[in-house]
Structure 1
Amino acid sequence: MSKLSEIFNREIDLIKKDENTLGIVLVGSSKDLDFEKDIKINDIDLFIFTKEQDENQIRINKEISSIEFDLNYISIKGCEHFIETKEYFFLKINDGKIIYDTCGFAKETLQKCKTIYDNGPDKICEEEKRDKMLEIKSEIKKLESKDEFEEFEYDFFINIALRDLI
């Protein structure tokens, strides 16, 4: 057993022992790695589903023997909220690797995320698209004359217009 595997398994066992834990999902770049091999790894990203907690999401970063763990504790209520509001960071876990699932909650949650992720963002009506395009065009028109702005102000407004365009 590799050192990485030992550290990973020890951390997972600690999380599993918490009665509040419903499931653990390995996400990010480490989800497809073989921890049994001595490999170079940046960090290990885990989503830990909990029965309850004060906040929808609690994020903890910790380092164990030079291995960084990025732990995201997400309550049942938090899962429901992030799915309902279509939070991209959360829906993207749909291809995560379930490593612990007490009652099928992790599997069900990942399936919901996959369904919503595959459906894509909500569509906006033509009138809203037209209004938004007119608003963006108006902002860009104002920025055609760079001399009317101080440099930092111009950069700021350009960044806002680009953000809105995207």
Structure 2
Amino acid sequence: MRKLAFHEQKLLKKTNFLEFKHGKGHREGNVTQRYRLVERDDYKKYNGICLMVQKQVNIIKQMDPRDPFRIETTDMLLDKLYNMGVISTKKSLLKCEKLSVSSFCRRRLATVMMKLKMAEHHKEAVTYIEQGHVRVGPEVVTDPAFLVTRNMEDFITWVDSSKIKKRVMEYNDALDDYDAMA
């Protein structure tokens, strides 16, 4: 690489590349950092889903309000998004229109673990998940990008052989002597 000219060096000193905002990418960076998205593709996938839902909503809005197909399609879309936990109510299409990548990120396993007070920080939750300490229902989940629906939220627990589970039970004085021997 050639030696930089004096004016080029001065420009580089004035520019902070760590916090450099360019076009639309700063939103992606903020969401990626806040929810600890390891894969950049996750953001793109969630963004693609949001765009598809918004297109679907626009198509539905163009139909006649009394059309039975519109009513059925609207109910199906609202039910699906509500059961996924992405929207808070099934009342109107306005919630679907304002759908964002953050609403999908809030349903990731690491974020739900923080909400359930199983971990204090995203980094800690991601570590627990990747190390195999967490199960959803009967299956151990090692992918922090796992999306948790409203129904699955109640079945998030520690793996039986996890040392974290033993520590929590010790702290709560719920550890059985038989479990301590095993």
| Fold-level similarity (TM above 0.5) | no
More strand by share: 1
* TM-score band w.r.t. shorter chain: under 0.3
Query: TM-score under structure 1 normalisation?
Result: 0.22
Query: TM-score under structure 2 normalisation?
Result: 0.20
Q: Between Structure 1 and Structure 2, whose CA radius of gyration is higher?
A: 2
- Where relative contact order (Cα < 8 A, 6+ residues apart) is larger, the structure is 1
